[in-house]
Amino acid sequence: MTVLTDPGRGRAAAAATPETKGGRWIDHWEPDDEGFWARTGRRVAARNLVFSILTEHLGFCVWLLWSIAVLNLNSVGMQLSVGQVLWLTTLPNLVGAAMRIPYTFAPARFGGRNWTIVSALLLVVPCGLFVYAIENPDIPYWALLVIAATTGLGGGNFASSMANITHFYPADRQGLPLGLNAAGGNLGTSVTQLAMPPLIVAFGLVAVGWVWMPFILLAAVCAYFFMNNLRQATSAYTLREMGAICRQPQTVVMSVLYIGTFGSFIGYSFSFGVLIKSQFPDIKGADFIWLGAFAGSLARPLGGWLADRFGGARVTAVDFLLMAAGIGAVAAAVRAGSWPLFLAAFLLVFVTTGIGNGSTYKMIPAIFKTKALERVDTADPAAVARAMATARRNAAAAIGITSSVGAFGGVLIQQSFRISLEETSGIGPALVGLTVFYGLCMLLTWAVYLRKVRVGDTRTSLAQAGV
């Protein structure tokens, strides 16, 4: 590839195509260069985004597999207590959250395309083990727990996918693609909840394991032929670097905010059917539980788009207010015994979780870009280029860490409803606690990103710098 020097900008500009070597490796990638992005960057990034979405979507489908299966275990002769059933749905959530840490750093170690192939093929393991468990209903409970835990591999896919796609897009245009990438994955939740019940009726519970295998193999083949590794994004992290990123104040703050958004989304997705059954026992919950995850997933790109347009911090702060209002409406519906109001209010909450998921993920690259540029001479193109590369790499790591903490937050949501139901026979106390938490998240967003502070002779905020 020929590299042309742009005297006006004082740095190298790419020719018509990215430089590739060794198959699907790209050696030159400069998405923040407008000329490069217009010529080839946008097209290559979009292609990688499409097949990243496919694998991540299947990851969520597999992750939620046992949340549907536990409702039908009696049909294959498995008699479990309520506590045992709850553990079969909680353990995948815990393992999925934990797997997001190593999955975050895997693309940097092995290459984004390479890891997408591996992470897709790994999904065959929980599907195959599920088939084995259903065909052997006398299997010990501890073995059943181990098999359910393997579906957490699907939860890890989100972190590696998001960390990889971050490198493909310009820092100021990541809201919508990250929102689309995440929404495609999140939709796997509602697809599982919608498609599995009729599949079970038609072919039996064992079909839940078999049905995903051909799609998983297709995703791996597509990743092999159509995705790319970015050479500049494959510098492996040391344990010291990982620890430093985890300890950065911005990583901590965004992790808390993501508990409020994604933790709520996944926690409500796992709990919605139980809440419907406990509060409105005459309603057939299976007809409605998929609506929440579906609405939240579709709203996620909207959150990214709004963040690109108005700023992630502003959208996130307003969104937390709407989340608190939505939970207040859910509480009112419970007190009134109104099923239509309950459903409408909860769907509003799901929509706000999706918007918040998109806006918070727009914030992370913008935060690290702003912080990196604060420490360099912006008149020095080489220094700016190095700072942007470091910011992009650290943002990718922070996204994975934040996604892991957020997924653990889903477990907290589940447990808050469990404790509330066991201690008070209602969900009122849990709803009050969630409303307070969303209010605190709004205040945290304002204090860190929207509140103006004095810098030299002016007052400014991180939001005004593009966060």
pLDDT value at residue 365: 84
What residue has token string 């697809």? 191
**Which CATH number describes the domain made up of 52-234?**
1.20.1250.20
pLDDT value at residue 22: 46
pLDDT value at residue 82: 65
With 90 as the cut, is the pLDDT of residue 33 above it?
Answer: no
> Using an 8 Å Cβ cutoff, are 376 and 73 in contact?
no
Hey, where are the domains in the chain? 52-234, 237-467
Residue range 287-312: mean pLDDT, rounded: 90
Q: Report pLDDT digits (tens) over 437-447.
A: 999 999 999 99
Q: Give me the torsion for CA of 391, 392, 396, 401, rounded to 10°.
A: 10
Q: Report pLDDT digits (tens) over 52-75.
A: 999 999 999 999 888 888 878 888
Fold of 237-467: Growth Hormone; Chain: A; (1.20.1250)
Would you give the DSSP letter of residue 237?
P
pLDDT value at residue 236: 62
pLDDT value at residue 285: 73
- State the pLDDT confidence band at 11, using cuts at 50, 70 and 90: very low
With 60 as the cut, is the pLDDT of residue 14 above it?
Answer: no
Provide the H-helix boundaries in 311-380.
312-336, 339-374
- Alpha-carbon distance of 174 to 161, in angstroms, equals 14
46: Cα separation from own chain's centroid: 19
> Using an 8 Å Cβ cutoff, are 129 and 150 in contact?
yes
- State the pLDDT confidence band at 18, using cuts at 50, 70 and 90: low
pLDDT value at residue 13: 42
- Alpha-carbon distance of 171 to 30, in angstroms, equals 11
Mind giving me the DSSP string for 191-235? Answer: HHHHHHHHHHHHH-TTHHHHTTHHHHHHHHHHHHHH--EEGGG--
Q: Do domains 52-234 and 237-467 have the same CATH topology?
A: yes
Residue range 90-107: mean pLDDT, rounded: 89
pLDDT value at residue 456: 61
Q: Report pLDDT digits (tens) over 142-195.
A: 999 999 999 999 999 988 998 899 889 987 788 788 888 888 888 898 888 888
Residue range 430-436: mean pLDDT, rounded: 95
- For residue 455, list its beta bridge partners: 458
Between 233 and 319, the higher pLDDT residue: 319
> Using an 8 Å Cβ cutoff, are 362 and 175 in contact?
yes
pLDDT value at residue 429: 94
- State the pLDDT confidence band at 104, using cuts at 50, 70 and 90: confident
Structure tokens at 304: 């990214």
Residues 6+ away with beta carbon under 8 Å from 211: 199
